[in-house]
Amino acid sequence: MRGNPVVPSWHPGAGCGAPSGAGAGTGRVRARFALFVGTCAGDTDAHGDDPTHPGPAGDRVSDTAGFYDDLAGTYDRLHSDWELTVMTAGRTLDALLRRVLGDREHRLLDCAAGIGTQVLGAARHGHQVAGTDLSVGALRRARAEAGRTGVPAPLVVADMRRLPYADGSFDAVICADNAIAHLLADGELELALGEMRRVLRDGGLVVVTLRDYDLLSRERPPVLPTHVSHGEHGLLLTVPVCEWSADGTRYLLRQLQLAEQPGGGWVTAERRVLCRAYGRAQVREAAERAGLGGARWVMPTEGFFYQPVLLATRHPAPRPEVRNPAGAAASGRAASPWRP
């Protein structure tokens, strides 16, 4: 996602799916999710060895949900202190919702809930929260975390392009941590944003966060910042390797995790998923086509969040003033309370 090693800028996206344990043989890479079932003969001539080409219909990408199912067990270790991340995410969301929508508790949907970072945080501030995600494994982990902390949070396995809620059910919908990058086909982003709009009440707020692809698609870094965490058995290193398409609009994310073993040595696992590098103008235009108004981007330099954030409303409204909703400094390096 971004370029500061302290920030887990390589998060594949908290939504669309999540974790489950990683396991593999010591010192070898387990490519559990082969991304392209069919890089078939007839396709190779037209597209060569481009790893980001989706391939024939039906072979586009091995399932995004599977990527996050496999990651669920160690997703919290993508953060230096996940509990702190949950608390600060909740504080930031609470300040944003109260400032933009009114100083009261609100009905919030996280349509890419993952293991529950935003859902659990917002619920602790009294908001009525619900969460959906493609990943069964991620939501299983989120339910366990909600039960452990006594947070009421109904969680449903669902696709953000087909949300299982009635029109006008929520005051706000959030889609955080690069989740929309998993919407690969033309029109899918607009469809998902249209669903977010549909389940909002009039004047409701959509919050979308995304990696800075305006920068990344130009630079096309082969490796994004590596994250190191300490666990009961030793170190866990997560290395996000990117194989970019020639035009910089897509990349194959190869997430390598190396886990130190108690008796010495390392277990290495690999997960793969295809991502689309949406530019900010693309996302804003898709939001407008989906019927959302007042769309604006809040950048990390404004001290709000470690990724660019799109804010838009169900009907056009004056642009909300969203600078430092949790009291973060707006100068120098972004002091986002959502940064682990």
Q: What is the CATH number of the domain that holds 117?
A: 3.40.50.150
The pLDDT of residue 153: 87
pLDDT per residue as tens digits for the range 154-203 = 999 999 999 999 999 999 999 999 999 999 999 999 999 999 999 999 99
126 dihedral zone (left: phi>0; alpha: psi -120 to 50; beta):
left
Distance CA 43, CA 57 (A): 11
Report which of 305, 252, 310 is spatially closest to residue 121, judged by C-alpha positions: 305
Look at residue 2 and tell me if it is in a domain. no
Structural domain of 263: 11-340
Q: How far is CA 226 from the centre of its chain?
A: 17
Look at residue 213 and tell me if it is in a domain. yes
The number of beta carbons lying within 10 Å of the beta carbon of residue 219 is: 9
Does 332 or 168 have the greater pLDDT score?
A: 168
Provide the residue type at 85 as one letter.
T
- Name the percent of the chain lying above pLDDT 90: 65
Distance CA 234, CA 259 (A): 7
Look at residue 149 and tell me if it is in a domain. yes
The number of beta carbons lying within 10 Å of the beta carbon of residue 58 is: 8
Query: Does the structure show a pLDDT above 70 at 130?
Result: yes
Look at residue 6 and tell me if it is in a domain. no
User: How distant, in Å, are the alpha carbons of 72, 79, 164, 294 from that of 66?
Assistant: 10, 21, 21, 35
- Strand 29-31 versus strand 266-276 pairing type: parallel
Look at residue 5 and tell me if it is in a domain. no
pLDDT per residue as tens digits for the range 310-329 = 999 998 544 555 555 544 43
The encoded tokens of residue 320 equal: 């909300």
Look at residue 4 and tell me if it is in a domain. no
Look at residue 201 and tell me if it is in a domain. yes
Number of domains in the chain: 1
